[in-house]
Amino acid sequence: MNELKTTLITAAQEAGNLIKAYFHGSFKVDNKEGINNLVTEVDMLCETKIIEIIKSKYPTHTIISEEEGSEENNSDYKWIIDPIDGTVNFAHHIPICCVSIGLSYKDQMLLGVVYNPMMNELFFAEKGKGAFLNDQPIRVSEKTDFRKACLVTGFPYKWPDENEHPIKVFERFILQGLPVRRLGSAAIDLCWVACGRFDGFWEYNLNPWDIAAGYLIVEEAGGRITNFDGAPYSVYDKQTLATNGHMHNEMIALIKNKN
Protein backbone atom coordinates (compact mmCIF):
# COMPACT_ATOMS: atom_id res chain seq x y z
CA MET A 1 0.00 0.00 0.00
CA ASN A 2 2.84 2.41 0.77
CA GLU A 3 4.19 2.12 -2.78
CA LEU A 4 0.73 2.72 -4.24
CA LYS A 5 0.34 5.80 -2.04
CA THR A 6 3.79 7.11 -2.98
CA THR A 7 3.07 6.63 -6.68
CA LEU A 8 -0.30 8.38 -6.36
CA ILE A 9 1.07 11.42 -4.54
CA THR A 10 4.18 11.67 -6.72
CA ALA A 11 2.04 11.66 -9.87
CA ALA A 12 -0.21 14.39 -8.48
CA GLN A 13 2.70 16.54 -7.37
CA GLU A 14 4.56 16.20 -10.67
CA ALA A 15 1.44 17.20 -12.60
CA GLY A 16 0.87 20.02 -10.14
CA ASN A 17 4.36 21.32 -10.84
CA LEU A 18 3.47 21.52 -14.53
CA ILE A 19 0.26 23.41 -13.75
CA LYS A 20 2.16 25.89 -11.63
CA ALA A 21 4.90 26.33 -14.22
CA TYR A 22 2.43 27.17 -16.99
CA PHE A 23 -0.19 29.02 -14.92
CA HIS A 24 1.06 32.58 -15.54
CA GLY A 25 2.35 31.86 -19.04
CA SER A 26 0.81 31.16 -22.43
CA PHE A 27 -0.47 27.82 -23.69
CA LYS A 28 -2.72 26.44 -26.40
CA VAL A 29 -6.43 26.14 -25.61
CA ASP A 30 -8.88 24.02 -27.61
CA ASN A 31 -12.58 23.29 -27.24
CA LYS A 32 -14.05 19.81 -26.83
CA GLU A 33 -17.67 18.90 -27.47
CA GLY A 34 -20.05 21.55 -26.15
CA ILE A 35 -19.64 25.25 -25.43
CA ASN A 36 -16.68 26.25 -23.22
CA ASN A 37 -15.73 22.63 -22.60
CA LEU A 38 -12.04 23.47 -22.80
CA VAL A 39 -8.86 21.44 -22.93
CA THR A 40 -5.38 22.93 -22.88
CA GLU A 41 -2.01 21.59 -23.91
CA VAL A 42 -1.19 21.57 -20.19
CA ASP A 43 -4.03 19.09 -19.54
CA MET A 44 -2.35 16.78 -22.03
CA LEU A 45 1.14 17.30 -20.59
CA CYS A 46 -0.12 16.60 -17.07
CA GLU A 47 -2.00 13.50 -18.15
CA THR A 48 1.05 12.15 -19.99
CA LYS A 49 3.22 12.72 -16.90
CA ILE A 50 0.72 11.05 -14.56
CA ILE A 51 0.29 7.99 -16.77
CA GLU A 52 4.05 7.73 -17.28
CA ILE A 53 4.63 7.64 -13.50
CA ILE A 54 1.87 5.09 -12.90
CA LYS A 55 2.96 2.80 -15.74
CA SER A 56 6.57 2.85 -14.57
CA LYS A 57 5.41 1.08 -11.41
CA TYR A 58 2.20 -0.68 -12.45
CA PRO A 59 2.21 -1.36 -16.21
CA THR A 60 -0.70 -3.83 -16.04
CA HIS A 61 -3.13 -1.62 -14.11
CA THR A 62 -6.21 -0.17 -15.81
CA ILE A 63 -6.23 3.58 -16.44
CA ILE A 64 -9.33 5.74 -16.90
CA SER A 65 -8.48 9.33 -17.78
CA GLU A 66 -10.39 12.37 -18.99
CA GLU A 67 -8.45 13.23 -22.11
CA GLU A 68 -7.16 9.89 -23.40
CA GLY A 69 -10.06 7.70 -22.27
CA SER A 70 -9.64 4.17 -20.90
CA GLU A 71 -6.84 1.66 -21.12
CA GLU A 72 -8.36 -1.60 -19.98
CA ASN A 73 -5.95 -4.30 -18.80
CA ASN A 74 -8.43 -6.56 -16.96
CA SER A 75 -6.81 -5.47 -13.73
CA ASP A 76 -8.60 -5.18 -10.39
CA TYR A 77 -6.78 -1.87 -9.94
CA LYS A 78 -8.10 1.22 -11.76
CA TRP A 79 -6.45 4.63 -11.73
CA ILE A 80 -9.06 7.34 -12.41
CA ILE A 81 -7.38 10.54 -13.55
CA ASP A 82 -8.35 14.15 -14.12
CA PRO A 83 -5.12 15.95 -15.03
CA ILE A 84 -6.69 19.38 -14.48
CA ASP A 85 -10.09 19.62 -12.83
CA GLY A 86 -11.19 23.20 -13.38
CA THR A 87 -9.67 23.63 -16.83
CA VAL A 88 -11.81 26.71 -17.59
CA ASN A 89 -10.43 28.33 -14.43
CA PHE A 90 -6.88 27.37 -15.40
CA ALA A 91 -7.33 28.69 -18.95
CA HIS A 92 -8.43 32.04 -17.50
CA HIS A 93 -5.66 32.10 -14.87
CA ILE A 94 -8.07 31.59 -11.98
CA PRO A 95 -6.19 29.66 -9.27
CA ILE A 96 -9.00 27.23 -8.42
CA CYS A 97 -7.91 24.13 -10.30
CA CYS A 98 -6.32 20.86 -9.33
CA VAL A 99 -5.02 17.42 -10.17
CA SER A 100 -7.39 14.62 -9.13
CA ILE A 101 -6.37 10.96 -9.04
CA GLY A 102 -8.31 8.10 -7.48
CA LEU A 103 -7.31 4.45 -7.24
CA SER A 104 -9.96 1.75 -6.94
CA TYR A 105 -9.58 -1.97 -6.25
CA LYS A 106 -12.40 -4.22 -7.43
CA ASP A 107 -14.46 -1.04 -7.98
CA GLN A 108 -14.04 0.12 -4.36
CA MET A 109 -12.17 3.38 -3.89
CA LEU A 110 -8.90 2.70 -2.14
CA LEU A 111 -6.84 5.91 -2.38
CA GLY A 112 -7.51 9.45 -3.52
CA VAL A 113 -5.50 12.63 -3.93
CA VAL A 114 -6.56 16.14 -4.97
CA TYR A 115 -3.78 18.68 -5.33
CA ASN A 116 -4.19 22.41 -5.97
CA PRO A 117 -0.62 23.64 -6.50
CA MET A 118 -1.73 27.27 -6.71
CA MET A 119 -2.91 27.16 -3.08
CA ASN A 120 -0.39 24.50 -2.01
CA GLU A 121 -3.20 22.25 -0.77
CA LEU A 122 -2.89 18.49 -1.09
CA PHE A 123 -5.89 16.47 0.07
CA PHE A 124 -5.43 12.74 0.54
CA ALA A 125 -7.48 9.82 1.79
CA GLU A 126 -6.95 6.09 2.23
CA LYS A 127 -9.90 3.77 2.72
CA GLY A 128 -10.45 3.22 6.45
CA LYS A 129 -7.60 5.52 7.50
CA GLY A 130 -9.07 9.01 7.35
CA ALA A 131 -8.64 12.13 5.23
CA PHE A 132 -5.88 14.72 5.35
CA LEU A 133 -4.95 18.19 4.12
CA ASN A 134 -1.18 18.65 3.89
CA ASP A 135 -0.78 15.68 6.30
CA GLN A 136 -3.15 17.16 8.89
CA PRO A 137 -6.40 15.23 9.63
CA ILE A 138 -9.60 16.86 8.40
CA ARG A 139 -13.27 16.42 9.26
CA VAL A 140 -16.53 17.68 7.82
CA SER A 141 -18.31 20.51 9.62
CA GLU A 142 -20.47 19.86 12.68
CA LYS A 143 -23.12 22.35 11.62
CA THR A 144 -26.68 21.08 12.08
CA ASP A 145 -28.80 24.17 11.36
CA PHE A 146 -29.55 24.06 7.64
CA ARG A 147 -30.53 27.74 7.69
CA LYS A 148 -26.89 28.56 8.40
CA ALA A 149 -25.39 26.25 5.78
CA CYS A 150 -22.81 27.38 3.25
CA LEU A 151 -23.14 25.35 0.04
CA VAL A 152 -21.44 24.86 -3.30
CA THR A 153 -22.63 23.57 -6.65
CA GLY A 154 -21.73 23.40 -10.32
CA PHE A 155 -23.51 23.34 -13.65
CA PRO A 156 -22.88 20.82 -16.44
CA TYR A 157 -21.83 21.70 -19.98
CA LYS A 158 -24.79 19.64 -21.13
CA TRP A 159 -28.04 19.85 -19.20
CA PRO A 160 -29.07 16.44 -17.85
CA ASP A 161 -32.11 14.61 -19.12
CA GLU A 162 -34.11 15.46 -16.04
CA ASN A 163 -37.70 16.54 -15.48
CA GLU A 164 -36.44 19.82 -14.10
CA HIS A 165 -33.74 22.22 -15.22
CA PRO A 166 -30.81 22.45 -12.73
CA ILE A 167 -31.28 26.23 -12.54
CA LYS A 168 -34.70 25.63 -10.98
CA VAL A 169 -33.07 23.50 -8.29
CA PHE A 170 -30.45 26.19 -7.72
CA GLU A 171 -33.22 28.77 -7.41
CA ARG A 172 -34.86 26.84 -4.57
CA PHE A 173 -31.65 26.96 -2.56
CA ILE A 174 -31.03 30.65 -3.02
CA LEU A 175 -34.67 31.48 -2.28
CA GLN A 176 -34.00 29.94 1.14
CA GLY A 177 -31.47 32.73 1.66
CA LEU A 178 -28.58 30.25 1.60
CA PRO A 179 -25.15 31.24 0.32
CA VAL A 180 -24.32 29.00 -2.66
CA ARG A 181 -20.93 29.24 -4.34
CA ARG A 182 -19.69 27.95 -7.70
CA LEU A 183 -15.94 27.33 -7.81
CA GLY A 184 -15.69 25.53 -11.15
CA SER A 185 -13.95 22.41 -9.85
CA ALA A 186 -15.99 19.50 -8.49
CA ALA A 187 -12.90 17.87 -6.99
CA ILE A 188 -12.13 20.99 -4.95
CA ASP A 189 -15.82 21.38 -4.04
CA LEU A 190 -15.79 17.88 -2.52
CA CYS A 191 -12.53 18.48 -0.66
CA TRP A 192 -13.83 21.74 0.77
CA VAL A 193 -16.87 19.85 2.07
CA ALA A 194 -14.48 17.30 3.56
CA CYS A 195 -12.51 19.95 5.46
CA GLY A 196 -15.58 21.85 6.64
CA ARG A 197 -15.39 24.96 4.48
CA PHE A 198 -18.69 23.98 2.86
CA ASP A 199 -21.51 22.03 4.48
CA GLY A 200 -22.88 20.51 1.28
CA PHE A 201 -22.40 20.11 -2.48
CA TRP A 202 -24.58 18.89 -5.32
CA GLU A 203 -24.10 18.60 -9.06
CA TYR A 204 -25.47 16.80 -12.13
CA ASN A 205 -23.64 14.90 -14.86
CA LEU A 206 -20.18 14.55 -13.34
CA ASN A 207 -17.72 11.99 -14.65
CA PRO A 208 -15.74 9.42 -12.63
CA TRP A 209 -12.51 11.39 -12.97
CA ASP A 210 -14.20 14.49 -11.52
CA ILE A 211 -15.21 12.79 -8.30
CA ALA A 212 -13.31 9.53 -7.68
CA ALA A 213 -10.72 11.04 -5.34
CA GLY A 214 -13.03 13.60 -3.74
CA TYR A 215 -15.66 10.95 -3.06
CA LEU A 216 -13.27 8.96 -0.89
CA ILE A 217 -11.93 12.10 0.78
CA VAL A 218 -15.47 13.14 1.81
CA GLU A 219 -16.29 9.71 3.19
CA GLU A 220 -13.03 9.40 5.09
CA ALA A 221 -13.59 12.88 6.56
CA GLY A 222 -16.88 11.67 8.06
CA GLY A 223 -19.20 13.05 5.39
CA ARG A 224 -22.03 11.43 3.47
CA ILE A 225 -22.22 11.10 -0.30
CA THR A 226 -25.17 9.66 -2.24
CA ASN A 227 -27.24 10.24 -5.35
CA PHE A 228 -30.25 12.58 -5.19
CA ASP A 229 -32.48 9.78 -3.88
CA GLY A 230 -30.16 9.12 -0.97
CA ALA A 231 -29.06 5.77 -2.40
CA PRO A 232 -25.49 4.44 -2.01
CA TYR A 233 -23.08 6.22 -4.30
CA SER A 234 -20.92 5.07 -7.20
CA VAL A 235 -18.35 7.22 -9.00
CA TYR A 236 -20.26 6.34 -12.18
CA ASP A 237 -23.48 7.99 -10.93
CA LYS A 238 -24.70 11.14 -12.68
CA GLN A 239 -26.16 12.72 -9.53
CA THR A 240 -23.79 13.72 -6.73
CA LEU A 241 -24.79 14.95 -3.28
CA ALA A 242 -22.12 15.31 -0.59
CA THR A 243 -22.73 16.80 2.86
CA ASN A 244 -21.51 16.81 6.43
CA GLY A 245 -24.29 14.26 7.05
CA HIS A 246 -26.36 16.50 9.29
CA MET A 247 -28.19 18.30 6.48
CA HIS A 248 -28.32 15.58 3.85
CA ASN A 249 -32.07 15.04 4.08
CA GLU A 250 -32.84 18.77 3.85
CA MET A 251 -30.78 19.01 0.69
CA ILE A 252 -32.49 15.99 -0.85
CA ALA A 253 -35.86 17.57 -0.09
CA LEU A 254 -34.94 20.80 -1.87
CA ILE A 255 -33.36 19.04 -4.83
CA LYS A 256 -36.43 16.82 -5.23
CA ASN A 257 -38.81 19.72 -4.45
CA LYS A 258 -40.41 17.92 -1.52
CA ASN A 259 -40.40 20.80 0.94
**Catalytic residue (choose from 210, 219, 220, 237):** 210
Give, as one character, the DSSP assignment of residue 195. Answer: T
Q: What are phi and psi of 131, to 5 degrees?
A: -120, 150
User: What was the pLDDT predicted at 155?
Assistant: 87
Rounded Cα distance between 123 and 250, Å, is 27
Would you call 72 a catalytic residue per the annotation? no
**Catalytic residue (choose from 66, 189, 199, 219):** 66
User: What was the pLDDT predicted at 138?
Assistant: 98
Query: Which run of H or of E encompasses 220?
Result: helix 208-220
Q: Residue 48: which residues within 8 A CB-CB, separation 6 or more? A: none
**Catalytic residue (choose from 43, 82, 219, 237):** 82
Query: Which run of H or of E encompasses 85?
Result: strand 77-85
pLDDT at 31 over 90: no
Mean pLDDT of 159-167: 70
The secondary structure of 88-117 as a DSSP string is HHHHTT-S--EEEEEEEETTEEEEEEEEET
pLDDT at 33 over 80: no
User: What was the pLDDT predicted at 35?
Assistant: 60
pLDDT at 242 over 70: yes
Would you call 82 a catalytic residue per the annotation? yes
Would you call 85 a catalytic residue per the annotation? yes
Using CA atoms, how far residue 250 sits from 146, 147, 253, in Å, is 7, 10, 5
User: What was the pLDDT predicted at 40?
Assistant: 79
pLDDT in tens, 49-80: 999 999 999 999 999 997 776 767 789 999 99
**Catalytic residue (choose from 43, 50, 53, 85):** 85
Q: Which residue has the higher pLDDT, 150 or 238?
A: 150
Rounded Cα distance between 113 and 99, Å, is 8
Helices 41-57/2-23 angle, 10° precision: 160
**Catalytic residue (choose from 7, 40, 87, 240):** 87
pLDDT at 25 over 90: no
Q: What are phi and psi of 171, to 5 degrees?
A: -60, -40
Mean pLDDT of 130-145: 98
Q: What are phi and psi of 30, to 5 degrees?
A: -120, 170
Would you call 189 a catalytic residue per the annotation? no
Mean pLDDT of 119-126: 98
pTM across the whole model: 0.94
Would you call 60 a catalytic residue per the annotation? no
